[in-house]
Structure 1
């Protein structure tokens, strides 16, 4: 019997402690009820969210603005509505009794929207004029067609670097020219009539004009 006495005392102490905690929680439970009204005309506000801050407990007011919710002493009750400013009420910890009534007034939250200018419908002549002058962006087919033009391809050829095959062919041509004129002075194209003719044609075409990539 002496062996089980400490165990019995421990169980009895735990039961007394749990009962005391239960009595404490039970004493701190409060039935909060009341009505939410407008501050200027004292009219009940429906669909007001009444929630306990820091928890998932809450309720909403009915069509007359009346609500009822179970809270604990010391809880912060938050009243929110899309058209009114938020209000927070704290339940006193030293509240006597287990019920509390409240009449919560809420002030309308005014939101100023930008001004809206209503214009008359355009006349058929104005619509036709604006429709004709409307710039439609180029689609992929039109962009591809413009990129394949002779002038655009000439500009792209001057800016796009050569690939491996082109660079290798250019290097081989330079080596062949050096080998051909090895030991002598290579000819100067400044005295070549064909080179001058090609230069004049390129000048007339505008190949030497500075062009942007967007052209």
Structure 2
């Protein structure tokens, strides 16, 4: 229902898998939808049906990640993503994530999550005068994500510094951030060497995001 697509907010390890059985295209028989399609004529699919479905799909995918501690898998079972001419358009419109086609890849993903991450409900004792705050790694990730979304080419040197982090997640988000900043030329060319270095990273996701960033830079 529309409520599940847009109105659910479940944080933490209570939600780690979202299953989408089919693309949320509009239903024939809805008088308003049918009339809008009729007025668009031959453009009804590209101008209405497809954009509306993509928007709703993005909202559905967004049910999974509600905070920086969340993780999980979105399983889209609609084979039209692979077989149709518009499938690539849909996939490219989704948030930047790893796309896999094997259940074994999904199993490896969940198996790779540390116990501390997959068990978020913990009992913590805090004595008077102490506080609980984000770890240095969480601060670093938040910082590099903010830099990537800043649309400011002056932050590129700082993002490059994150590509040298000992933490794989920071390196991955740094590569992703540089990809988002790829349009700022010639400033982004400073990052090419760092991104090329990440192509040999031990973590597959880091290598993948580095390659995507280099492709965007051109």
- TM-score band (shorter)? under 0.3
TM-score calculated relative to the size of structure 2: 0.18
Higher strand share: 1
> TM-score, length-normalised on structure 1?
0.18
